[in-house]
A and B are shown apart, each in its own frame.
Chain A
Amino acid sequence: MKNMYNKNTLKYDSGKCTGCKKCTSVCPHAVFTMEERKAVLINKTACMECGACQKNCPSRAIEVTSGTGCGLGMIYEAVTGKDIGAGLYHTFEG
C-alpha cells in the first residue's frame, strides 16, 4: 500500500540560503538542519506543509504549498465551493 504522505510540495534552493537559521527555529518536525552555516534538507518526508519556513525565509530559498489538511474540510470545499480558512469547526461557528 502506497503511503500518500511520502511526497510533498516542499522545495529548497540552498544557493539562496544566507544561514539565518530561521527555518530550523520554526519547523515543528526538524525538516532542516544547519551544516556549515547553510540549511540542509534532512527530513523531507516529515514536512507537513505548514509554511512556517517559507514565511520566515528572508531570501525566499524555500517554497511549499500550505493549506488546511482537514479531510472532511476538503470534501466540504469540493462540494460547496467555499474556502474553509482555519478549519471545519471554525467554518461552522462563523
Chain B
Amino acid sequence: MNTIKTTTTKLTWTNHLNHIISRLGINRNGYIVEPGLYKVGTPDKEAPVFVTANYSLSFDGLRSNLTGMNCYILVLDTKGVNVWCAAGKGTFGTEELVNRIRQTELANIVVHKKLILPQLGAPGIAAHEVTKATGFKVTYGPVRADDIPQYIKEGHASKQMRQVQFTLKDRLVLIPLEVVFAILPISLISAVLFFLSGSLAAAAFFAAAIAGVTLMPLLLPWIPTPNFITKGYCLGLFIMLPFALLHIRGTPGAPLWNRIAWIAVYLLSFPVVTAFGAFNLPGITTFTSWSGVRREIKHYAPIMVWLFLPGLAGLIFLSVMRFI
C-alpha cells in the first residue's frame, strides 16, 4: 500500500501514442496513473519532491523533464484530470495534497520540507494551509514542465516561466478534440438539411459549424473584434459570403422573396452557428475571465437569437415550399 513506485524519465512509443489519442478524447479513462509516491533514479533523503496530477499527460510531461535527476514525484489523485482543470475543480487541492503527504509518510522519506508544485496547480492549493497541516513548504515551479531543468539550474523561475501563453501551437492542439466532440451533431444536422433544403445549404451549414471549431482557434488573434461571439460571427459571415454568392448565381430567375429568405439563412443565421461553435473556446483557454464570458453571453445572446431566427424561419418556410 505504501510502497514507493518506480518510474523513469523516458517516454516510450506507447506513451507518445497515448498522448496523441488523449488529444482526440478517446478512452479518457486510459490515462489514469496510480496516485502515490514515485522515485526517479536513486533519490536520497535530500532529494527534491515534485508534485503532479494522476493524468498521464501531466505525469509524463513532468517525468520526461527530470532526466538525470534523482528525485521523488508525489502523484495526487485528481481522477485522471490535468493539473489546471483539477485545480479549478479543487481535486488538485489542499486536502488531497495534505492527505497524500500523510498517506505516503513523506516526512519519513525526506529530511527537507520542500515541495515543488506546478504553478497552474495554485488555484487549488492554499500553500500556507498545507504548511500548517504538514510542515511542508510549497514552492511553485514554472508553468511549463519543459522549463524545469532551467528552473532547477537557476534556483528560481523567471518572469517568462511564470506566464501562460496562447501561441498558435497551443491553439492548434485544441482543434482535434473540439472536432471529435462536434463532428457527430454537425454531420447529423447537415444530413437533415441536405434532405430538406438541398446540398448547398447542407454544405454551408457544415462549413459554418466546422469553421467555428477549427478556424476560430487558428485565426483567433487576427479576427478584429475583442469578443469571442463577435469573432465567431465575423468569421462565419466571411465564410458564408461565397455560399450566398454561389446560391444567387445558381438560381437565376428565382422570385425575390426566395432570394431574401436564402440570404437571411446564409448571412444572418449560419454565422450564428459559427459563433456558437466558437464559444466553446473561452472555456479551454487560460486567458478569459469567467465574468467576461458571462458578460459576453448576457450582452450577445439575445442579439444572436434575433439574428438566427429570421434565417431559421426562412429555412423552414423554404423547405416547406420545396415539398408542397
Q: What residues make up the interface of A, taking CB atoms closer than 8 Å to B?
A: 1-5, 7-9, 22, 24-30, 46-52, 55-56, 58, 65-75, 85-90, 93
Q: Given A1-B230, A25-B119, A28-B119, is A70 in contact with B81 using a C-beta cutoff of 8 Å?
A: no
Contact of A65 among B177, B229, B291 (CB under 8 A): B291
On whether the beta carbons of A71 and B226 are closer than 8 Å, the reply is no
Complex CA–CA separation, A86 to B225 (angstroms): 28
| Chain B residues within an 8 Å CB radius of A5 | 226-227, 288-289, 292, 295
Q: Is the Cβ of B128 less than 8 Å from the Cβ of A68?
A: no
Contact check, A29 vs B227: say whether CB atoms are below 8 A apart: no
Closest residue of chain B to A8 (Cβ to Cβ) is B289
Contact across chains for A30 and B25 when beta carbons are under 8 A apart: no
B85 to chain A, nearest CB (A): 5
Interface centre among A5, A8, A29, A49 (most CB of B within 10 A): A5
Known A-B contacts A22-B127, A25-B162, A56-B125; A3 and B291 likewise in contact (beta carbons under 8 Å): no
Query: Would B85 and A55 count as touching, CB distance under 8 A?
Result: no
Contact between chains at B289 and A49 (CB < 8 Å): yes
**Inter-subunit contact B297/A3 (CB<8 Å):** no
Listed residue (A65, A67, A71) with the most chain B CB atoms within 10 angstroms of its CB: A71
- When the two chains form their complex, are residues A88 and B280 in contact, meaning their CB atoms are under 8 A apart? yes
In the complex, which residue of chain A has the Cβ closest to the Cβ of B275? A71
- A56, B128: Cβ atoms under 8 Å? yes
Q: List 12 A-B contacts (CB under 8 A).
A: A3-B226, A5-B226, A8-B289, A24-B162, A29-B287, A51-B123, A55-B125, A58-B128, A66-B290, A69-B288, A86-B86, A88-B283
Whether B163 lies near A30 (C-beta < 8 A) is yes
Q: Determine if B284 and A50 form an interchain contact, defined as CB atoms under 8 angstroms apart.
A: no
| A contact face: mostly helix, strand, loop, or mixed | loop
Residues in B whose Cβ lies below 8 Å from that of A27? 162
Contact A48 B289, beta carbon cutoff 8 Å: yes
Cβ distance A80 to chain B, nearest Cβ, rounded Å:
15
The number of chain B residues with a CB under 8 A from chain A is 55
Q: Contact at A30–B294, with CB atoms within 8 Å?
A: no
Cβ contacts under 8 Å, B140 to chain A: 25-26
Chain A residues lying within 8 Å of B157, measured Cβ to Cβ, are 25
B69 within 8 A of A: no
Chain A: minimal CB distance from B133 (Å): 14
Known contacts A4-B227, A30-B163; A70 and B293 CB within 8 A of each other: yes
B299, A86: Cβ atoms closer than 8 Å: no
**A48 contacts across to B, CB distance below 8 A:** 286-290
Nearest CB of B to A52, in Å: 4
Whether a CB of chain A sits under 8 angstroms from the CB of B143 is: yes
Give the chain B neighbours of A67 by CB distance below 8 A.
Answer: 290
On chain B, the residues within 8 Å of A2 by CB distance are 226, 299
Do A1 and B122 touch across chains, with their CB atoms under 8 A apart?
Answer: no
* B122 in contact with A52 (CB, 8 Å): yes
Given A1-B226, A56-B126, A73-B283, decide whether A90 and B291 contact each other with a Cβ distance below 8 A. no
A72 to B301, CA, bound (A): 11
Q: A28-B286, A50-B88 are in contact. Are A69 and B292 (CB under 8 A)?
A: yes
The answer to whether the Cβ of B89 comes within 8 Å of any Cβ in the partner chain is yes
B177 to chain A: which residues have CB within 8 Å? Answer: 89
CA gap between A40 and B51 in the complex, in Å: 29
